[in-house]
Amino acid sequence: MTPSILLLLIILVVALLFFWFEWIPPDVTALGVLLTLIVLGLVPLEQAFSGFGSDTVMVILGLLIMTAALMRTGVVEVVSRNLLEFTSKYPRGLLPATMVAVALLSAIINNTAAAAFFLPVILGLSQRSKMSASRLLMPMAFAAILASSVTLVSTSTNIVVSGLMTQSGLEPIGMFELTPVGLPVLVAGLLYMLFFGQKLIPERPTPTTLTDLFELRPYLAELRIPPDSALHGTTLAESGLGRNYDLTVLAVIREGKRQLDPSADATLQSGDMLLVEGSSEAILKIKDIAGIDIQADAKFSDVDLQGNGLGLAEVVLLPRSPFIGRTPKSLKMRERFQIQVLAINRRTGVVRSKIADTRLQLGDVLLVQGKQKQIAALQSESAFDVLGVMEAQRFNRQQALTVMGIFMGTFLLASFKIIPLPAAMLLGAFLVFVTRCITPDEAYRQVDWKILILIGSMLGLGVAMQTTGTAEFLADRLTTFVGTLNPLWLLTGFFMLTVLLTQPMSNQAAAAVVIPVALQTAVQLDLNPRTFAMMIAIAASTSYLTPLEPACLMVYGPGRYRFMDFLKVGGLLTVVVFLLAILLTPLLWPL
């Protein structure tokens, strides 16, 4: 083992830890790995940044721009309208119809984008049909992921694998090369979810009120300011109720009139009733310190938090939201947007204290109080989606037909190899700009730049594994260990390794780590490296065991799921996908 190989292996282990615990965002981790490789001289500078200008990144960029145009012109909205009409006539077809619709959309655009679009649609349908959202959302997310291997562009992971293959001298993956495996996987997965998987999902009825849903009642209290209180004549800011006692004043009731969301300079008077939110410890502490009476018999409901133009809404943070990674305090939610965050529901539980300093994450479900107009404005800017509300988008028939024509045209050009795939995707992006189906500013706001940085950096890691000989070193050890075992066992091992790595880290990063080793192992054993590449492409999209996949994260809170729900339902689905992959992959790409 050379010093370069040892250094790279150490970097890989450290990177895996950062990907697992997410101490910093995955794209920042990947960029840090690339810079470390450059500083230590493990990758030539002229090759280090080649990933950012690679065919892979250009294909994904063009695809994301065209997807944004499809969304903007209302093309995807037509799918949801037809789904609504169908399910209103055939209620029993709700689950299969939603899964098929999501899968079809996910086959041609990014699966995360498909899941993000259908999330509020499915929640609206569940309310109309009186069906628990938990029985619909997980199948919807799984359907989006199951379509990942139907076409090359179904997920950016396939494009990354294709790019890594060209780095190793192999032909890139064709537009429909994965389809003979991807289509059976999709059909089998949908049938599994329809007839068996959905029965494993616990039915968790949604509470009728948002205060019950977020279990806010024990954290709400009504305080009375007595005549001799030191708070008489002070402003809310001067009272220190929020700063010193971690209490949020939601309303001031004076002479029977209720003022919701009072400003910081609102003056308190003797006899005022304050509706506050905070922990039981903070509420009890305030009585002893500030001399405030607690109304022990107070009862609360959603009505107490709504009125005067203010309302409650349940919103979910989607990919590319500018709120992700920020705190309500840093965003100045109350000052800038006139929105108060009352609680946050995430996979680790409901956050009700120190909300202002809590960093928001993808998939967080926020209970917010604010003006409906302001909430709608932030939704239109893709800050979040209001759950259970199906917002009608404007459908521009002429532009919609233009975008669909451009989208299908680029597919055909790439499929028949009239022009290379990267050129076809960028041509499509250029045409949607020229035809004014979407403006560059609108499109660039929708592009997931984090994914592009992650992929560009991880492609640099792939180069380092080749140039340092790390891929060959690991392949040697693996070849010695495997010996004369049947190659199918080796394929199985790489499938399992990839599936395990996709749980803590992104699918693209997992593929970038495994592919160089797998291809080098195949070459040393005189096996077909394309077989291994295709197997890993399928495995990298088999992300059903945990809710850490973006499509699953988005439904985790709204569906009221538990971590074990995904392991229970997704574990058997992973077995189904593996059995089909190990059967079909060697037949289509002989070892």
Tokens of 179: 């389809």
Least confidently predicted of 94-103, 262-271, 356-365, 543-552: 262-271
Rg of the chain taking only CA atoms, in angstroms:
27
Please give the angle made by the CA atoms of 29, 32 and 36, to the nearest 5 degrees.
Answer: 140
SS (H, E, C) 100-129: HHHHHHHCCCCHHHHHHHHHHHHHHHHHHH
Please compute, for residue 249, the number of CA atoms within 13 A of its CA located in the half-sphere on the CB side.
30
| Spatial separation of the C-alpha atoms in residues 408 and 429, rounded to whole Å | 12
Section 402-419 average pLDDT: 86
Q: What is the pLDDT confidence band of residue 572, given thresholds at 50, 70 and 90?
A: very high
Is the pLDDT score of 422 beyond 80?
yes
Please give the angle made by the CA atoms of 121, 572 and 186, to the nearest 5 degrees.
Answer: 50
Highest mean pLDDT among 252-256, 271-275, 459-463: 459-463
Least confidently predicted of 66-80, 219-233, 376-390: 376-390
With 0-12 / 13-18 / 19 or more C-beta atoms within 10 angstroms meaning exposed / middle / buried, residue 586 is middle
Q: What is the pLDDT confidence band of residue 448, given thresholds at 50, 70 and 90?
A: confident
Q: What is the CATH number of domain 217-299?
A: 3.30.70.1450
Section 175-204 average pLDDT: 90
Least confidently predicted of 29-43, 58-72, 166-180, 518-532: 58-72
pLDDT digits (tens, 9 = 90+) for 457-494: 888 888 888 888 888 888 777 777 765 678 888 898 89
Is the pLDDT score of 50 beyond 90?
no
| Spatial separation of the C-alpha atoms in residues 562 and 238, rounded to whole Å | 42
Q: What is the pLDDT confidence band of residue 340, given thresholds at 50, 70 and 90?
A: confident
| Spatial separation of the C-alpha atoms in residues 591 and 585, rounded to whole Å | 9
108 or 246, which is more confident:
108
pLDDT of residue 211: 55
pLDDT of residue 534: 95
Q: Which of 520, 538, 537, 542 is nearest to 529 (CA)?
A: 520
pLDDT of residue 219: 58
Domain ranges of the chain: 217-299
The per-residue DSSP string of 223-271 comes to EE--TT-TTTT-BHHHHTTTTTT--EEEEEEETTEEEES--TTPBP-TT
pLDDT digits (tens, 9 = 90+) for 304-320: 556 666 677 778 887 77
349 strand-pairing partners: 346
Least confidently predicted of 79-88, 168-177, 246-255: 79-88
Report helix angle 75-89 to 55-72, nearest 10. 60
Highest mean pLDDT among 76-80, 108-112, 451-455: 451-455
In the chain, the amino acid numbered 536 is I
Mean pLDDT score across all residues of the chain:
80
Q: What is the pLDDT confidence band of residue 131, given thresholds at 50, 70 and 90?
A: confident
Percent of the chain whose predicted confidence (pLDDT) is above 90: 14
pLDDT of residue 299: 55
246 or 487, which is more confident:
487
386 strand-pairing partners: 315
| Spatial separation of the C-alpha atoms in residues 226 and 269, rounded to whole Å | 9
pLDDT of residue 580: 95
Lateral strand order in the sheet of 349-351: 349-351, 339-346, 365-371, 310-316, 385-386
Is the pLDDT score of 392 beyond 60?
no
343 strand-pairing partners: 367
3-state DSSP call for residue 321?
coil
Q: Is 200:571 a contact under the CB 8 Å cutoff? A: no
Highest mean pLDDT among 80-84, 388-392, 481-485, 552-556: 552-556
pLDDT of residue 18: 85
Section 73-95 average pLDDT: 68
502 strand-pairing partners: none
pLDDT of residue 185: 95
Q: Is 385:315 a contact under the CB 8 Å cutoff? A: yes
